């Protein structure tokens, strides 16, 4: 048959030719076999399939995920012959004796590589946990194996053996197996290497040998990580001559390994330059979190394939590009509806699309629901058989890119690797026609970075399990936003399904629910039970609906107001972000060469554009009608570093609307002094008088609000400030803040002993200074305005140099004047 290589194949190695018309297969799921038998067959399969795939192995997984509590149905796997039965048009030649299979292909082997059988002894000294090779009925998980962990030295010797097998094109055997082949099958193989004779008695000795003696002969643009007896993937590793290792300890923190071991590990990982995949097991002997921090920090991403047999065979099939990843309906956003989507997670781990998803795909009527499934885009390359199956099974379902794109990344890659990784993800998502991806963590900052990938139309952040970091259902508004023109959603959990179904908040309401280890039948039953106001959509449809919502809110505006702290309201106007960040959780900052830009598209009927900026430090504000040619419209008078110039800066940009056919103005913020890193600190923006929700007015103390000592109010133009001093004295100063005051205008004149103080605008209309840190720590009265008796009141500081107390909770409801000073 023709060559299996493809112009689209960019990451993973593939067989040189398409599979042979005859498949030689063997069932290795038997209590008669041991791990050494499987090692023999996996190494044989890799060597034979290297050029023209011919051998297929039937075997249940060796390490499996446990089910979530109460969902035992999740443990069911597909039968080990499921994918084999998908193959049609081939002659299938069975073998029942693994030695006979070796004998059948002995003529294609250069020889044998020996290893000490103790390497694969589950009961060996230094191993922990219990291990079972034979799982019996496929529905019975090899559950004890999940916690089994062999010693570092055993795993290191196993990996060296696999590399020796690949290097010499020699089957991996124990001495007893070599003798049995000669005695019972008349097969004599020359011994080309013996890992057991090398005296590799430690992790460091084994990998130092591998680095020196084997790496020059191995493929290192891709690496393999195997910290366990994960023999399922050994055929692929050996077929493609991939350098194989495993981590030790926590290399990022420097725990659990010596300085020389850390240095060696760095050399091993850096065999693969730049952005590169690590195929195999995520974590294992090293904690998953430590594994991710270390490898992601070096530009590496994972393809978890430790339970996937026969990749050396399936990677020889021609790549399959789907016609589509979803069927998109023409939906129109309705603010009275609650939109919800569901995603079966963990498709980054090949175990799920290979072993779990097919059982759920078989559920009755599953294809009638707009459920999404995570499928790694690399599936088209490493297993076109599975890619074709999912294409045929889709129905009304959709397929999305799992965890961070082309590979598994738990933590953002450093900047020097990011562009290359994003370009790679973009290529694969485009090939698989996928529109959305998920990130690992519930972090809006991490998630937003992925909007830079052209093929990504929307990002979903978070796992969707029982993670304590998952969002609260009541906070839905702040779990979806638009960043750089693309929607980002923080995922919810299926385990919060009852709270979601009872959600009574107003629109916009968008819930993307991550279904971690959830049987799809549970999803369809839940969908059928949802109230009528819920509309179930695919993640792609969720993105489209959100864009409709965003256009209705953030385009053709008359007014707007937002906190500049990555809020839902701010993000809709963010046009460009070059490294700005959120400081103290309440303001956006740009230092040095950093900057950010807002885009304000006004309604055609609007003829004015006035901004009120709560801003401080060394700011430069620029305006433009095309985001290309800029004019400075405001600049700090001095290089301020301590926010002492914080003020409400009024800008009239109406002139930028003259002759502006789009009625769009761009406003950019950058540092006024690139060298010292104290650029603009922006707290809030009001457009044409729009209200900034969630931010107390800086010129008013509303009913029930308090000032703590050291805090102050400032008049609208920053001309005066009212400060509660640390001695309890309430003082009206001229100047934008107490540090920059130019004199006392008025003061209460009452000071107290050392300690804490707070001023409370009480609900009875009285402004009172108390000793203590707050109402729960009230240590006694110090001074009051004497305006009690009103049902409510508020205080305002004005640019005329006076302080006023009016009836009413806030300035918007101001009534009669009760008090003023001076």
Helices (H), 394-514: 415-432, 444-449, 497-501
Q: Are residues 623 and 755 in the same domain?
A: no
Helix (H) or strand (E) holding 382: helix 379-382
pLDDT above 60 for 140: no
CATH of the domain at 604: 2.60.120.260
Q: Are residues 645 and 731 in the same domain?
A: no
Question: Is residue 319 assigned to a domain?
Answer: no
Q: pLDDT category, 493, cuts 50, 70, 90?
A: very high
Last residue of a domain, one of 652, 687, 722: 687
Q: Are residues 749 and 652 in the same domain?
A: no
Beta-bridge partners for 582: 588
pLDDT of residue 763: 92
Residue 617 DSSP symbol:
S
Question: Is residue 13 assigned to a domain?
Answer: no
Question: Is residue 7 assigned to a domain?
Answer: no
pLDDT above 80 for 72: no
| Mean pLDDT of the 448-477 span | 91
Instruction: Return phi, psi of residue 721, to 5°.
Output: -140, 145
Angle of helix 35-48 relative to helix 152-168, nearest 10 degrees?
A: 30
Q: Are residues 350 and 494 in the same domain?
A: yes
DSSP of 497-561: HHHHHT--PPSPEEEEEEETT--HHHHHHHHHHS-TTEEE--HHHHHHHHHHHHHHHHSSBS-EE
CATH of the domain at 707: 2.90.10.10
CA distance 209 to 27: 35
Contact predicate 35/174, CB 8 Å = no
Domain residue limits at 609:
560-687
Question: Is residue 803 assigned to a domain?
Answer: yes
The token duo for 231 is 């023999």
Q: Are residues 231 and 371 in the same domain?
A: no
Q: Which tens digit of pLDDT belongs to each residue from 663-695?
A: 999 999 999 998 887 899 999 999 998 988 877
Number of domains in the chain: 4
* Exposure on the CB side of residue 510, measured as CA atoms within 13 A: 30
Question: Is residue 333 assigned to a domain?
Answer: no
The token duo for 816 is 């009669």
b/e 538-558 (16+ beta carbons within 10 angstroms → b): bbbbbbbbbbebbeebbeebe
Question: Is residue 502 assigned to a domain?
Answer: yes
Q: pLDDT category, 69, cuts 50, 70, 90?
A: very low
More confident residue, 739 or 343: 343
Q: Which tens digit of pLDDT belongs to each residue from 620-649?
A: 999 999 999 999 999 999 999 988 888 889
CA distance 746 to 310: 83
pLDDT above 60 for 697: yes
The token duo for 388 is 């074709």
pLDDT of residue 68: 43
The residues near 468 (Cβ < 8 Å, ≥ 6 apart) are: none
| Mean pLDDT of the 191-214 span | 98
Contact predicate 375/303, CB 8 Å = no
Residue of 116, 127, 121, 178 whose CA lies nearest to 150: 127
pLDDT of residue 579: 92
Last residue of a domain, one of 529, 552, 575: 552
pLDDT of residue 73: 46
Q: Are residues 460 and 542 in the same domain?
A: yes
Please measure the distance between the N-terminal and C-terminal CA atoms of the chain and give it in whole angstroms: 95
> Which range among 61-70, 80-89, 783-792 shows the weakest confidence by mean pLDDT?
61-70
CA distance 527 to 369: 9
Q: Are residues 569 and 542 in the same domain?
A: no
pLDDT above 60 for 216: yes
Beta-bridge partners for 614: 648, 684
Q: pLDDT category, 264, cuts 50, 70, 90?
A: very high
Q: Are residues 383 and 452 in the same domain?
A: yes
The mean predicted confidence, pLDDT, of the chain is: 91
pLDDT above 90 for 453: yes
Q: Are residues 656 and 721 in the same domain?
A: no
More confident residue, 133 or 817: 817
Alpha carbon 306 to chain centroid, angstroms: 22
| Mean pLDDT of the 479-493 span | 94
pLDDT of residue 4: 36
Question: Is residue 200 assigned to a domain?
Answer: yes
CA distance 442 to 470: 6
CA distance 798 to 361: 67
Helix (H) or strand (E) holding 385: helix 384-393
What percent of the chain is modeled with pLDDT above 90?
73
pLDDT of residue 63: 65
Q: Are residues 59 and 200 in the same domain?
A: yes
Global pTM value? 0.85
pLDDT of residue 475: 85
| Mean pLDDT of the 252-256 span | 86
DSSP of 84-136: HHT--SSEEEEES-HHHHHHHTGGG--EEEE--GGGG-TT-TT-BS---S---
Q: Are residues 498 and 610 in the same domain?
A: no
CA distance 266 to 252: 10
pLDDT above 50 for 343: yes
Residue of 459, 455, 466 whose CA lies nearest to 412: 459
pLDDT of residue 283: 63
What percent of the chain is modeled with pLDDT above 70?
95
pLDDT of residue 666: 98
pLDDT above 90 for 136: no
pLDDT above 70 for 726: yes
Q: Are residues 519 and 577 in the same domain?
A: no
Q: pLDDT category, 141, cuts 50, 70, 90?
A: very low
pLDDT of residue 464: 83
Helix (H) or strand (E) holding 222: strand 219-225
CA distance 221 to 272: 5
CATH of the domain at 489: 3.20.20.490
pLDDT above 90 for 293: no
Question: Is residue 790 assigned to a domain?
Answer: yes
The token duo for 666 is 């761009």
Instruction: Return phi, psi of residue 205, to 5°.
Output: -65, -40
pLDDT above 70 for 363: yes
> Which range among 136-145, 207-216, 534-543, 774-783 shows the weakest confidence by mean pLDDT?
136-145
Last residue of a domain, one of 687, 717, 751: 687
In the 3-class helix/strand/coil scheme, how is 758-784 assigned residue by residue?
EEEECCCCCEEEEECCCHHHCCCEEEE
Separation in Å, CA 148 to CA 23, 75, 132, 142, 234:
33, 18, 9, 10, 19
Residue of 368, 591, 567 whose CA lies nearest to 482: 567
């Amino acid at each position: 048959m023709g060559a299996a290589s493809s112009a689209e194949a960019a990451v993973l190695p593939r067989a040189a030719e398409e599979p042979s018309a005859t498949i030689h297969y063997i069932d290795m799921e038997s209590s008669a076999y041991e791990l050494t038998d499987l090692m023999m067959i996996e190494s044989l399969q890799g060597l034979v399939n290297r050029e023209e795939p011919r051998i297929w192995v039937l075997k249940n997984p060796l390490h499996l995920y446990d089910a979530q509590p109460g969902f035992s149905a999740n443990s069911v796997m597909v039968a080990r012959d499921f994918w084999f039965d998908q193959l049609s048009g081939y002659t299938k030649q069975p073998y029942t004796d693994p030695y006979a299979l070796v004998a059948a292909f002995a003529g294609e082997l250069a020889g044998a590589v020996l290893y000490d059988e103790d390497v694969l002894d589950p009961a060996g000294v230094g191993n922990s946990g219990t291990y079972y090779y034979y799982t019996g009925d496929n529905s019975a998980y090899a559950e004890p194996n999940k916690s089994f962990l062999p010693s570092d030295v055993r795993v290191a010797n196993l990996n060296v053996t696999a590399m020796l097998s690949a290097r010499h094109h020699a089957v991996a055997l124990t001495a007893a197996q070599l003798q049995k082949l000669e005695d019972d099958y008349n097969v004599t193989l020359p011994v080309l290497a013996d890992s057991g004779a090398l005296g590799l008695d430690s992790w460091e000795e084994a990998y130092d040998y591998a680095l020196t003696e084997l790496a020059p002969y191995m493929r290192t643009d891709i690496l393999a990580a195997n910290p366990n007896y994960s023999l399922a993937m050994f055929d692929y590793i050996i077929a493609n001559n991939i350098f194989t290792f495993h981590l030790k300890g926590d290399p990022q923190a420097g725990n659990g390994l010596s300085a020389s071991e850390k240095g060696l590990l760095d050399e091993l990982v850096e065999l693969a330059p730049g952005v590169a995949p690590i195929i195999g097991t995520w974590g294992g002997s090293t904690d998953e979190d430590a594994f991710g921090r270390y490898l992601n920090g070096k530009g590496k991403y994972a393809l978890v394939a430790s339970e996937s047999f026969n990749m050396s065979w399936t990677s020889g099939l021609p790549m399959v590009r789907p016609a589509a990843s979803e069927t998109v309906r023409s939906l129109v956003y309705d603010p009275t509806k609650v939109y919800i989507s569901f995603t079966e997670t963990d498709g980054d781990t090949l175990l799920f699309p290979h072993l779990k998803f097919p059982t759920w795909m078989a559920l009755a009527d599953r294809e009638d629901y707009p459920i999404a499934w995570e499928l790694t885009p690399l599936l088209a390359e490493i297993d076109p058989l599975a890619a074709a199956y999912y294409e045929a099974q889709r129905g009304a379902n959709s397929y999305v890119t799992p965890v961070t794109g082309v590979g598994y990344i738990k933590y953002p890659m450093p900047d020097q690797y990011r562009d290359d990784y994003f370009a790679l993800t973009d290529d694969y998502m485009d090939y698989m026609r996928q529109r959305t991806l998920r990130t690992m963590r519930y972090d809006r900052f991490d998630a937003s970075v992925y909007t830079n990938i052209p093929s990504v139309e929307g990002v979903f952040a978070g796992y969707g399990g029982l993670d304590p970091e998952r969002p609260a259902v009541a906070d839905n508004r702040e779990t979806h936003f638009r960043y750089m023109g693309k929607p980002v959603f923080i995922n919810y959990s299926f385990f919060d399904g009852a709270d979601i179904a009872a959600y009574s908040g107003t629109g916009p309401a968008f819930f993307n629910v991550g279904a971690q280890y959830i049987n799809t039948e549970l999803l369809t039953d839940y969908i059928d039970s949802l109230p009528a106001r819920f509309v179930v959509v695919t993640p792609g449809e969720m993105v489209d609906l959100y864009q409709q919502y965003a256009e209705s809110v953030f385009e053709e505006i008359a007014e707007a107001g937002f906190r500049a702290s990555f809020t839902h309201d701010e993000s809709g106007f963010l046009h460009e972000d070059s490294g700005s960040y959120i400081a103290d959780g309440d303001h956006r900052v740009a230092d040095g060469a950093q900057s950010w830009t807002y885009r304000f598209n006004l309604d055609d009927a609007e003829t004015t554009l006035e901004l009120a900026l709560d801003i401080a430090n060394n700011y430069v504000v620029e305006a433009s009608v095309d985001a290309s040619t800029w004019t400075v419209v405001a600049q700090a008078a001095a290089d301020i570093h301590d926010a002492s110039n914080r003020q409400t800066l009024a800008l009239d940009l109406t002139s930028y609307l003259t002759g502006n056919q789009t009625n769009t103005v761009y406003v950019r913020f950058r540092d006024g002094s690139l060298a010292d890193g104290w650029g603009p600190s922006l707290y809030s923006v009001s457009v044409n008088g729009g209200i900034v929700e969630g931010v107390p007015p800086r010129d008013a103390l509303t009913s029930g609000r308090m000032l703590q000592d050291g805090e102050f109010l400032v008049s609208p133009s920053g001309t005066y400030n009212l400060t509660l001093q640390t001695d309890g004295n309430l003082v009206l100063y001229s100047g934008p803040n107490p540090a920059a005051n130019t004199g006392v205008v008025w003061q209460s004149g009452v000071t107290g002993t050392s300690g804490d103080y707070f001023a409370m605008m009480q609900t009875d209309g009285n402004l009172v200074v108390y000793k203590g840190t707050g109402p729960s720590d009230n240590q006694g009265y110090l001074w009051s305005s004497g305006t009690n008796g009103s049902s409510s009141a508020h205080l305002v500081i004005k640019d005329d140099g006076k302080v006023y107390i009016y009836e009413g909770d806030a300035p918007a409801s101001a009534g009669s004047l009760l008090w003023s000073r001076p």
